[in-house]
Chains A and B, each alone.
Chain A
Amino acid sequence: MRHIAGRAGSRAQRAKRVLGAACRRGRSAGCQEGGRQLRWTGGPREPWDQRTLHRDACGRSTGAAGPASGRVPPAACRRAWGGEMARAVRAPWVGGMGVHTPTRSVEHGQLWGEPEGKMSVLSGPRVTGTASPQAKGKLQGSIDGYVREKIQLAAEAISKYAFEKISDGDVILVYGCSSLVSRTLCDAHANGRAFRVIVVDSRPRLEGRDTLRRLVRKGIRCTYVMITAISYMLPEVSKVLLGAHALLANGSVMSRVGTSQIALVSKAYNVPVLVCCETYKFCERVQTDSFVSNELDDPDDLILPGKGGAHLRGWKENSSLRLLNLVYDVTPPELVDLVITDLGMIPCTSVPVVLRVKNVEQ
């Protein structure tokens, strides 16, 4: 299944493609048909089998992350969560944060967990073991339509709106790798805007290098720094453009770890922070901080190769040392100035309005 996903497009598009392919082949390897939702158990390779924090803390695993997704986290990692960290987290969680989609990330949860929207057609045709051709055709049609409207056209719309906010002579700071942000900048450059970009990157994923490659290929002037240098660079930056993995109902932005740091320091320097996000990423969850629910990445990634990693390499044997590699963090709405969506430019606090409008439409 993974080879079908390919590299092009955003994670969401790749996810959709895999599911579409699975449906077309009629295999249940990717789908559990016949239900209200399609749970997606296969998919693009993650370096680490993603287990959400609370699942680990509770020792529970839901249907989606079954044996099909394979690897079990090493006992040591679970220990990290089973330890003080999980205890600290479990308490507030058990207090009733309960609602959480069992799929891989919030953004995927939004695609599949939502009973509304285009996906509501899934509750229509009740398909049994071998799906009837019309039902499959209808399903494929609506999947394709959804991908076209909510993902591809939305990216175009966002690029157009963001273009209005980029002026000549701008110095734009971007973080990590967001397909939307890269596309916006490439389109703006193609339309003749003169600006330069500062690409901020962080370990261990070093996703900024992807962005850097894409932008330099288009001829955009770029500077590459690590996240530790942002207070040095920010006085010359005119705006910050960030991507998002999800927008929560209280206006918080959930994005790659490091984003909230950038937003915080930008606020201190009075640099406007703009977030680009499609409406399908809007989520009805509310999260006040990054610990309530997050994902863990392979802690061994934090160990530097070569001589530098010598001190950390023996962490598993050391009972007082734990390595924590978080994937996401939550940026509070006060630090974000503007959210650019396919519906237009809205302030962070208007996310529930958009969700309400979407619900009314469907």
Chain B
Amino acid sequence: MNEAELIEAFKAQMTEDPDVASAVAAIRALLEFLKRDKGETIQGLRLNLKNAIETLSGVDSSVAVSSGGELFLRFISLTSLEYSDYSKCKEIMIERGELFLRRISLSRNKIAKLCHTFIKDGARILTHAYSRVVLRVLEAAAASKKRFSVYITESQPDQAGQKMAKALSKLNVPVTVILDAAVGYIMEKVNLVIVGAEGVVESGGIINKIGTNQMAVCAKAQNKPFYVVAESFKFVRLFPLNQQDVPDKFKYKADTLKTNQSLTEEHPWIDYTSPSLITLLFTDLGVLTPSAVSDELIKLYL
């Protein structure tokens, strides 16, 4: 399976199931790639998979694709060295890959189950941009007969908030779309803030759509709890010290990186929220405080 086919498979997964996270689609494509790989050695296979992950990051530059890919690779290679027969090893790796995929497809439901209890009856929730995990959480809360209303920022430049508002109104949840600039104004009215994340970094901070950091700062100033919902495959081994420290390859879209040489004219798509502003993180590994994220990362990666 060469690069073009891999990219085709990835894009096919995204269009087939628009609700799926881009990282899950990438992992499904990688599993296909693994099944069809014609190499004869484990090292060769790992190298091919690494290159495949690079290729996919070139198509979709979000943090989750690269972190999900790396975790996938680590998970399947855990037991790869036990058998001397290559085909047996490969079988085991494919099995583990399917196990990994099964686990992460259940992660959103686990998170929704954990988080919806934090939404009390009559709550006013503020959220940012379009996050499918937050949508699932709010679905679960609505299903458990809670009444709540949602404020959503319109999230320029791609108006992702409008998409979220449409999805929420289908659930019969009262939604109000506000300007990105109105976050400080609306903060005193809301009870809690829930956002998704594109990546969760080692310090416990998050990388998310631009505008999240200022929402977190306003929430802190007004003493409102700031909750983050993210699946565990989004945990990445980065440790940004400030906004500038986030690598450029995540800040801009993949096509911009390929075509544009000077990135100073470009507007970044993500920002970094520091762990001191986050109250709790809801993941499929449980409800974590920001300082516990590093523990989990050490367990996942070491």
Could you list which residues of chain A lie within 8 angstroms of chain B, going by C-beta atoms?
165, 239, 272, 274, 337-338, 343-347, 349-350, 353-354, 357
The reply to whether B242 and A272 contact each other, CB–CB distance below 8 Å, is yes
9 A–B pairs (Cβ distance < 8 Å), ordered by A: A165-B241, A272-B241, A338-B241, A347-B202, A347-B203, A347-B239, A347-B275, A350-B291, A357-B302
Which residues from chain A contact B202 at a C-beta distance below 8 Å?
345-347
Which residues from chain B contact A274 at a C-beta distance below 8 Å?
241
Q: Is B204 part of the binding interface, using a Cβ–Cβ cutoff of 8 Å?
A: yes
Name the one of B241, B242, B245, B294 contacting A346, with C-beta atoms under 8 angstroms.
B294
Q: Is B295 part of the binding interface, using a Cβ–Cβ cutoff of 8 Å?
A: yes
Number of interface residues of B (CB under 8 A): 14
How long is the Cα–Cα vector from A357 to B275 in the complex, in angstroms? Answer: 23
How long is the Cα–Cα vector from A276 to B275 in the complex, in angstroms? Answer: 21
How long is the Cα–Cα vector from A347 to B201 in the complex, in angstroms? Answer: 11
The reply to whether B298 and A353 contact each other, CB–CB distance below 8 Å, is yes
The reply to whether B241 and A350 contact each other, CB–CB distance below 8 Å, is no
How long is the Cα–Cα vector from A204 to B117 in the complex, in angstroms? Answer: 58
Q: Chain B 185-209 against A: per-residue CB contact (8 Å), 1 yes, 0 no?
A: 0000000000000000011100000
The reply to whether A350 and B295 contact each other, CB–CB distance below 8 Å, is yes
Q: Is B237 part of the binding interface, using a Cβ–Cβ cutoff of 8 Å?
A: yes
Which residue of chain B is the closest to A350 with respect to CB atoms? B294
Name the one of A239, A338, A354, A357 contacting B239, with C-beta atoms under 8 angstroms.
A338
The reply to whether A347 and B291 contact each other, CB–CB distance below 8 Å, is yes
The reply to whether B204 and A357 contact each other, CB–CB distance below 8 Å, is no
How long is the Cα–Cα vector from A354 to B203 in the complex, in angstroms? Answer: 15
Which residues from chain B contact A338 at a C-beta distance below 8 Å?
203, 239, 241
How long is the Cα–Cα vector from A338 to B201 in the complex, in angstroms? Answer: 12
Which residues of B in the span 238-290 have a Cβ within 8 Å of any Cβ on A?
239, 241-242, 245, 275
Asked if A357 meets B298 with Cβ closer than 8 Å, knowing A349-B291, A350-B291, the reply is yes
Which residues from chain B contact A343 at a C-beta distance below 8 Å?
302
The reply to whether B204 and A347 contact each other, CB–CB distance below 8 Å, is yes
The reply to whether A349 and B241 contact each other, CB–CB distance below 8 Å, is no
Which residues from chain A contact B204 at a C-beta distance below 8 Å?
347
Which residues from chain A contact B302 at a C-beta distance below 8 Å?
343, 357
Which residues of B in the span 153-206 have a Cβ within 8 Å of any Cβ on A?
202-204
Which residues from chain B contact A165 at a C-beta distance below 8 Å?
241, 245
| Chain B nearest CB, measured from A168 CB (Å) | 12
Contacts A165-B241, A272-B241, A346-B298 supplied; 11 other A-B pairs, CB < 8 Å: A165-B245, A239-B241, A338-B203, A338-B239, A338-B241, A345-B202, A346-B202, A349-B291, A350-B295, A350-B298, A357-B298
How long is the Cα–Cα vector from A352 to B4 in the complex, in angstroms? Answer: 46
Which residues from chain A contact B237 at a C-beta distance below 8 Å?
344
Asked if A353 meets B242 with Cβ closer than 8 Å, knowing A346-B202, A347-B203, the reply is no
How long is the Cα–Cα vector from A357 to B237 in the complex, in angstroms? Answer: 18
| Chain B nearest CB, measured from A347 CB (Å) | 5
How long is the Cα–Cα vector from A14 to B203 in the complex, in angstroms? Answer: 34
The reply to whether A337 and B291 contact each other, CB–CB distance below 8 Å, is no
Which residue of chain A is the closest to B301 with respect to CB atoms? A344
| Chain B nearest CB, measured from A361 CB (Å) | 10
How long is the Cα–Cα vector from A353 to B294 in the complex, in angstroms? Answer: 9
How long is the Cα–Cα vector from A274 to B239 in the complex, in angstroms? Answer: 11
How long is the Cα–Cα vector from A337 to B291 in the complex, in angstroms? Answer: 12
How long is the Cα–Cα vector from A345 to B202 in the complex, in angstroms? Answer: 8
| Chain B nearest CB, measured from A172 CB (Å) | 12
| Chain A nearest CB, measured from B199 CB (Å) | 15
| Chain B nearest CB, measured from A241 CB (Å) | 12
Q: Chain B 219-239 against A: per-residue CB contact (8 Å), 1 yes, 0 no?
A: 000000000000000000101
Which residues from chain B contact A354 at a C-beta distance below 8 Å?
298
How long is the Cα–Cα vector from A90 to B183 in the complex, in angstroms? Answer: 52
How long is the Cα–Cα vector from A353 to B291 in the complex, in angstroms? Answer: 11
| Chain A nearest CB, measured from B200 CB (Å) | 13
How long is the Cα–Cα vector from A229 to B204 in the complex, in angstroms? Answer: 33
How long is the Cα–Cα vector from A346 to B239 in the complex, in angstroms? Answer: 8
How long is the Cα–Cα vector from A357 to B203 in the complex, in angstroms? Answer: 18
Asked if A353 meets B295 with Cβ closer than 8 Å, knowing A346-B202, A347-B202, A347-B203, the reply is yes
| Chain B nearest CB, measured from A335 CB (Å) | 12
Q: Chain B 120-135 against A: per-residue CB contact (8 Å), 1 yes, 0 no?
A: 0000000000000000
Which residues from chain A contact B298 at a C-beta distance below 8 Å?
346, 350, 353-354, 357
Which residues from chain B contact A350 at a C-beta distance below 8 Å?
291, 294-295, 298
| Chain B nearest CB, measured from A336 CB (Å) | 11
Which residues from chain A contact B245 at a C-beta distance below 8 Å?
165
How long is the Cα–Cα vector from A267 to B241 in the complex, in angstroms? Answer: 13
Which residue of chain B is the closest to A161 with respect to CB atoms? B239
Which residues from chain A contact B239 at a C-beta distance below 8 Å?
338, 345, 347
How long is the Cα–Cα vector from A357 to B298 in the complex, in angstroms? Answer: 9
